[in-house]
Amino acid sequence: MQKLTLTYAETRRLYGKEVYHRPSRFIGELPEECVEEVRLRATVSRPVSHQRMGTPMVENDSGYKLGQRVRHAKFGEGTIVNMEGSGEHSRLQVAFQGQGIKWLVAAYARLESV
């Protein structure tokens, strides 16, 4: 049996800001039993903001911010790592501890701030 290892940078610093990246969409097309996710640390850490005090992290009109800690009824606690769209139909990418990264629609996610 052959083994293939794929890696990616989950975060990078670009022009002084943390930029979050997602794994290749092709990984989602592989059977789950063929994919083993290995992380260097067991928990997702809160992103560090190097912006001036009082300046909010990136926020869209859904009321959520990148780096915000949230709780979901099914997936537990997580950190918002990406956002797309605007308003109630914006999509949030949340990295959940022990559950992986999930895309959720803001209007239906029922997320609580932690």
Residues 6+ apart with CB under 8 A from 12: 18, 19, 21
Residue 2 in any domain: the answer is: no
| pLDDT of residue 31 exceeding 90 | no
HSE of 5, CA atoms in CB hemisphere, 13 A: 3
Number of domains in the chain: 2
Q: Residue 98: what pLDDT?
A: 86
Residue 22 domain boundaries: 8-42
Q: Residue 77: what pLDDT?
A: 94
Confidence of residue 3 (pLDDT cuts 50, 70, 90): confident
Report field, pTM of the whole predicted structure over 0.85: no
Q: Residue 51: what pLDDT?
A: 44
